[in-house]
């Protein structure tokens, strides 16, 4: 779908394919007359606080999501605020290497 005039978008389902999420982001950020910027909300699903037996599973799932979120955050107008939010998750799940 191509809607260059769109100014606000919510991504509810992500993909692990970098090419696909770059294309999705590009469709929203594409220039259009009268459009100075776009706001993109990309949702992340957080694992519940389960038992220690599932710690590595939770951590590995979150690692994949956080890589994408960090890339988005670094490019955002509110990069510092976004990275502060992500840092708390990185710290909680010991993913400071991302």
- Rounded average pLDDT over 29-44: 88
Q: Residue 55 sits in which domain range? A: 47-98
pLDDT bucket at 8, cuts 50 / 70 / 90: very high
- How many domains would you assign to the chain? 2
Q: What is the predicted pLDDT for the residue at 97?
A: 93
- Tens digits of residue pLDDT in 49-91: 766 777 788 888 888 888 888 988 898 899 999 999 899 889 9
28 and 52 fall within a common domain: no
Residue 48 burial class via C-beta count within 10 angstroms: exposed 0-12, middle 13-18, buried 19 and up: exposed
53 and 96 fall within a common domain: yes
The answer to whether the CB of 63 falls within 8 A of the CB of 9 is no
52 and 98 fall within a common domain: yes
Residue 44 has pLDDT above 70, yes or no: yes
For 24, the enclosing helix (H) or strand (E) is helix 18-29
97 and 55 fall within a common domain: yes
- Rounded average pLDDT over 18-26: 83
């Amino acid at each position: 779908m191509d809607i260059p005039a769109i100014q606000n978008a919510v991504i509810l389902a992500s993909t692990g394919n970098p090419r696909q999420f770059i294309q999705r982001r590009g469709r929203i950020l594409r220039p259009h007359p009268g459009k100075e910027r776009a706001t993109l909300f990309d949702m992340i699903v957080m694992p519940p606080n389960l038992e220690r037996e599932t710690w590595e599973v939770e951590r590995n799932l979150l690692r994949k999501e956080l890589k994408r979120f960090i890339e988005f955050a670094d490019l955002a107008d509110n990069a510092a605020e976004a990275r502060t939010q992500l840092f708390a998750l990185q710290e909680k799940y010991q993913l400071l290497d991302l």
